């Protein structure tokens, strides 16, 4: 795991003057990144907690660096993310997330040179190198992301891909229920439901709950008349 207590030691070397938009809804990592970037007093930082705010800030600062946790943000799918990045062609993006599928990584890396990628459980040096690269208008792909792209084969899209339990959890996700609510109704622990969710995301090759529902609808796992997208 990244030791954020060491950020102060690295901070003076990381960021050239610029405008940054932190689109990370995990407070701990957002705070750590903010402190890191602010070590250069000339840097300007904006916080975006949802897509609408992010787009408005990009309208005002088209050449900003967006530091985005895609898995925790409200982009519905990778297509929407790419549309926004293409709209603001001068912007640069650092995707800083815990888990990303090989399909997602291939799409953003092959579609645009605007994207850099760092995993949250990676080395501190990865964050440093990514920030340094974008300051030079270059991109950085961490080694772990490259290994995912090279090692993982596209996931099967068979309708029997999910277990019966996972299918029921997909239905609950489609109904808008939280992990805690799903755990309560199934008399399971939060850890168990969280593990099921991670397995569902991995099997379907997706990164967000919205993508889970869209895939399940296309595969006929759930009835579109019963759920909300």
> What would the pLDDT profile of 6-15 be if each residue is shown by its tens digit?
433 433 344 4
Model confidence band, residue 217 (pLDDT cutoffs 50, 70, 90): confident
Q: What is the pLDDT of residue 220?
A: 66
pLDDT digits (tens, 9 = 90+) for 33-80: 998 888 888 889 999 999 999 999 999 999 999 999 998 898 988 889
**Highest-scoring range by mean pLDDT, 27-41, 151-165, 208-222:** 27-41
**Highest-scoring range by mean pLDDT, 110-124, 145-159, 203-217:** 110-124
Model confidence band, residue 209 (pLDDT cutoffs 50, 70, 90): confident
Domains of the chain: 4-151 (3.40.50.2300), 164-226 (1.10.10.10)
Asked which of 140-154, 163-177, 214-228 is least confident by mean pLDDT, the reply is 214-228
pTM higher than 0.75 for the full model?
A: no
Strand-strand pairing, 65-68 and 92-97: parallel
């Amino acid at each position: 795991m990244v030791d954020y207590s060491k950020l102060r030691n690295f901070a003076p070397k990381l960021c050239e003057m610029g405008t940054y938009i932190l689109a990370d809804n995990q407070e701990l990592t957002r705070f750590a990144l903010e402190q890191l970037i602010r070590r250069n007093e000339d840097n300007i930082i904006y916080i975006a907690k949802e897509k609408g705010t992010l787009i408005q800030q990009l309208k005002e600062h088209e050449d900003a660096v967006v530091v985005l946790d895609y898995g925790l943000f409200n982009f519905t799918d990778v297509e929407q993310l790419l549309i926004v990045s293409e709209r603001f062609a001068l912007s640069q993006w650092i995707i800083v997330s815990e888990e990303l599928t090989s399909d997602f990584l291939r799409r953003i890396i092959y579609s645009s040179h605007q994207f850099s990628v760092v995993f949250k459980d990676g080395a501190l040096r990865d964050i440093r190198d990514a920030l340094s690269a974008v300051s030079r208008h270059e991109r950085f792909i961490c080694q772990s992301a490259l290994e995912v792209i090279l090692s993982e084969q596209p996931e099967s899209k068979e309708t029997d891909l999910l277990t019966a339990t996972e299918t029921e959890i997909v239905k609950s996700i489609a109904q808008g229920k939280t992990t805690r609510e799903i755990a309560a109704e199934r008399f399971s622990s939060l850890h168990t439901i969280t593990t099921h969710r991670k397995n569902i995301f991995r099997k379907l090759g997706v990164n967000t709950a919205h993508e889970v529902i869209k895939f399940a609808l296309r595969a006929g796992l759930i009835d579109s008349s019963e759920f909300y997208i």
